[in-house]
């Protein structure tokens, strides 16, 4: 999201700097990181002091990147986690980042931070600096991830102990990075309008709905966009054939190529795709239950790509063993295969319990693959039910095995009519979800603070 938004803002003529840790994978993939930005910095975390350095990269587009180096904190295999567990020192790792950003902040008009990892920046600026500070905006990408740790870690902020209270980062005795940002940021955004409304409720508020309702006047939702330079069906090196809304013949070639690669029979049957994190949030348990029943009654094929919780991986492997001629589950992530599934599938399954924005339904629309979604968050904002030659997908409003099954059966009805499928695919591919409009919305928000 940050990559897409920052590039789009540069295209609008804005001066943008992106600051992020110098993770191991960044160091390995960007050879142009050679120019230090300023002297070495020393940052206290409680009684201990840690050193770091910013490195600068200027892209041809005009975007400036600053990478924060500290090998002990960021030269690791994972960004936030080792296996399925967060690093024990994540509070220190991201307080270090937040303090480094706060030191830079006075050079800028506005600081836009994302999720819990940088949510302490607004509090550090407002509570820890006497000179003038820039305005701050916090974007919540997923409220379920809040950066909680024991309250005894608050001293790493080096802020006065009296600031550890309910109107700051204190949360039932713990320290909550995201709550600090919600309380201190000048503006708060989420990644879809509906999710901005949902998180004000107890059902979706993850324990912070009361805090968010106090900031409701400062909260807005702006949909994420898609980088159509990458997610494109024409001249895409990851696809065996090009196609467009005006000429869909290449999509059939992509389907046959996908079937062949996954070892599925090459036949005229609806092919359903899913590329997802395997978590309860994504409704994978309901999807497995539904498929286990519906596969007994219908000729259909399933291609699933994803990684996540072990019990869901186990259940998907069992589903594949049971229906080995029509189900293929690939554990992990592969960018080329993700493009091929998006292009080769007829329908895309996204029965998420909650979905702040969602990107795969937007990729699917671009690829003429009709999404089947639970109408929450960004899924509800972007998918319109197919009716009377209008719409771009299939949507249901209460997550259950029966409702998902009914949506899949509606998809079967469409598949049986070549005319209906062609028109629906053209509607889907005509949906506009580039970064142009979201970037304009963010720019208007930024200007409202001037």
Helical (H) or strand (E) element with 414: helix 401-415
239 with 230: CB under 8 angstroms? no
Strand partners, 172: none
pLDDT in tens, 52-99: 999 999 988 899 999 999 999 999 988 998 877 889 999 999 999 999
Tokens 């836009």 label which residue? 112
Residues 287 and 173 in one domain: no
239 belongs to a structural domain = no
Q: What percent of the chain has pLDDT over 90?
A: 91
Identify which of 189, 184, 65 has the alpha carbon closest to the alpha carbon of residue 129: 184
Where is average pLDDT lowest: 108-117, 137-146, 292-301, 372-381?
A: 292-301
Residues 170 and 303 in one domain: no
What pLDDT score was predicted for residue 176?
98
Where is average pLDDT lowest: 112-121, 127-136, 152-161?
A: 127-136
Residues 270 and 211 in one domain: no
What pLDDT score was predicted for residue 130?
59
Residues 424 and 443 in one domain: no
- Structural domain tally of the chain? 2
The CATH number of whichever domain residue 93 belongs to comes to 3.40.50.2000
What pLDDT score was predicted for residue 297?
82
- CB-based contacts of 275, cutoff 8 Å, min separation 6: 304, 305, 306, 333, 338, 341, 342, 360
pLDDT in tens, 375-404: 999 999 999 999 888 999 999 999 999 999
Residues 421 and 441 in one domain: no
Residues 192 and 332 in one domain: no
DSSP designation for 45: E
| Confidence band, pLDDT 50/70/90 cuts, at residue 449 | confident
325 belongs to a structural domain = yes
**Residue 252 in this model has a pLDDT that exceeds 90:** yes
- CB-based contacts of 310, cutoff 8 Å, min separation 6: none
Residues 175 and 322 in one domain: no
143: containing domain: 2-225+437-447
In whole angstroms, give the CA distance from residue 80 to residue 90: 7
In whole angstroms, give the CA distance from residue 417 to residue 9: 42
pLDDT in tens, 332-390: 999 999 999 999 999 999 999 999 999 999 999 999 999 999 999 999 999 999 988 89
| Confidence band, pLDDT 50/70/90 cuts, at residue 34 | confident
Long-range contacts of 410-418 (CB under 8 A, 24+ apart): 410/386, 411/270, 411/272, 411/346, 411/347, 411/370, 411/372, 412/270, 412/298, 412/300, 414/370, 414/386, 415/270, 415/346, 415/347
What pLDDT score was predicted for residue 318?
97
**Residue 19 in this model has a pLDDT that exceeds 70:** yes
Where is average pLDDT lowest: 80-89, 231-240, 276-285, 438-447?
A: 80-89
358 with 378: CB under 8 angstroms? yes
Helical (H) or strand (E) element with 67: strand 64-69
| Confidence band, pLDDT 50/70/90 cuts, at residue 316 | very high
Residues 268 and 413 in one domain: yes
Tokens 């840690």 label which residue? 50
Residues 202 and 264 in one domain: no
62 belongs to a structural domain = yes
Strands 170-171 and 174-176: antiparallel
In whole angstroms, give the CA distance from residue 171 to residue 180: 10
Where is average pLDDT lowest: 32-36, 223-227, 319-323, 424-428?
A: 32-36
237 belongs to a structural domain = no
Residues 294 and 194 in one domain: no
The helix-helix angle for 335-344 and 249-262 (nearest 10°) equals 130
Strand partners, 380: none
Can you give the length of the chain in residues?
Answer: 450
176 belongs to a structural domain = yes
Identify which of 366, 363, 361 has the alpha carbon closest to the alpha carbon of residue 381: 361
Residues 217 and 271 in one domain: no
Strand partners, 45: 48
Residues 132 and 211 in one domain: yes
162 belongs to a structural domain = yes
The helix-helix angle for 121-128 and 90-104 (nearest 10°) equals 60
pLDDT in tens, 202-234: 999 999 999 999 999 999 999 999 999 899 999
In whole angstroms, give the CA distance from residue 248 to residue 359: 22
242 belongs to a structural domain = no
> Following DSSP, what letter does each residue of 351-399 receive, concatenated?
--S--SS-SHHHHHHHTT-EEEEES-HHHHHH--B-BTTB-SBEEESS-
What pLDDT score was predicted for residue 31?
83
Identify which of 172, 175, 177 has the alpha carbon closest to the alpha carbon of residue 207: 172
Identify which of 345, 432, 427 has the alpha carbon closest to the alpha carbon of residue 385: 427
pLDDT in tens, 180-194: 999 999 999 999 999
What pLDDT score was predicted for residue 129?
65
What pLDDT score was predicted for residue 437?
96
In whole angstroms, give the CA distance from residue 430 to residue 413: 22
241 belongs to a structural domain = no
**Residue 17 in this model has a pLDDT that exceeds 90:** yes
What are the structure tokens assigned to 4, written together? 């897409």
In whole angstroms, give the CA distance from residue 210 to residue 208: 5
**Residue 253 in this model has a pLDDT that exceeds 80:** yes
């Amino acid at each position: 999201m940050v990559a897409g938004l920052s590039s789009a803002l540069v295209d609008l003529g804005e001066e943008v700097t992106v600051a992020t840790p110098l993770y191991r994978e960044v160091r390995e993939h960007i050879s142009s990181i050679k120019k230090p930005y300023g002297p070495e910095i020393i940052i206290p975390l409680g009684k201990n002091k840690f050193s770091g350095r910013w490195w600068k990269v200027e892209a041809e587009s005009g975007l400036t990147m600053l990478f924060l180096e500290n090998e002990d904190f960021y030269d690791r295999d994972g960004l936030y986690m080792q296996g399925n567990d967060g690093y024990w020192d994540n509070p220190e790792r991201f307080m270090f980042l937040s303090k480094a950003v706060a030191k830079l902040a006075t050079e800028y008009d506005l600081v836009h931070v994302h999720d819990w990892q940088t949510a302490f920046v607004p509090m550090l600026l407002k509570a820890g600096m006497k000179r003038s500070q820039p305005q701050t905006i916090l974007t919540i990408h997923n409220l379920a991830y809040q950066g909680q740790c024991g309250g005894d870690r608050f001293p790493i902020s080096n802020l006065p102990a009296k600031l550890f209270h309910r109107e700051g980062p204190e949360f039932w005795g713990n320290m909550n990075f995201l709550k600090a940002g919600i309380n201190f940021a000048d503006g708060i955004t989420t990644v879809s309008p509906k999710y901005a409304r949902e998180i004000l409720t107890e059902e979706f508020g993850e324990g912070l709905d009361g805090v968010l309702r106090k900031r409701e006047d400062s909260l807005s939702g702006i949909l994420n966009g898609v980088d159509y330079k990458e997610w494109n069906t024409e001249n895409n090196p990851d696809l065996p054939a090009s196609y467009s809304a005006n000429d869909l013949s290449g999509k059939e070639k992509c389907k046959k190529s996908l079937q062949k690669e996954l070892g599925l029979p090459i036949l005229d049957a609806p092919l359903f795709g899913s590329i997802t994190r395997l978590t309860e949030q994504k409704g994978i348990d309901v999807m497995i239950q539904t498929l286990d029943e519906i596969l007994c009654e219908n000729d259909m094929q399933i291609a699933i790509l994803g990684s996540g919780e072990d019990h869901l991986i186990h259940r998907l492997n069992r589903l594949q063993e049971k229906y080995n001629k029509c189900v293929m589950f690939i554990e992990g992530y592969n960018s080329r295969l993700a493009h091929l599934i998006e292009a080769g599938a007829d329908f895309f399954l996204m029965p998420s319990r909650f979905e702040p924005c969602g990107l795969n339904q937007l990729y699917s629309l671009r690829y003429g693959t009709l999404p089947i979604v639970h109408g929450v968050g960004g899924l509800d904002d972007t998918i319109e039910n197919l009716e009377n030659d209008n719409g771009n997908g299939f949507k249901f409003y209460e997550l259950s095995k029966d409702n998902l099954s009914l949506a899949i059966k509606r998809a079967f009805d469409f598949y049986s009519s070549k005319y209906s499928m062609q028109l629906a695919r053209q509607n889907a591919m005509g949906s506009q979800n580039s970064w142009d409009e979201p970037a304009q919305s963010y720019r208007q928000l930024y200007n409202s603070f001037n």
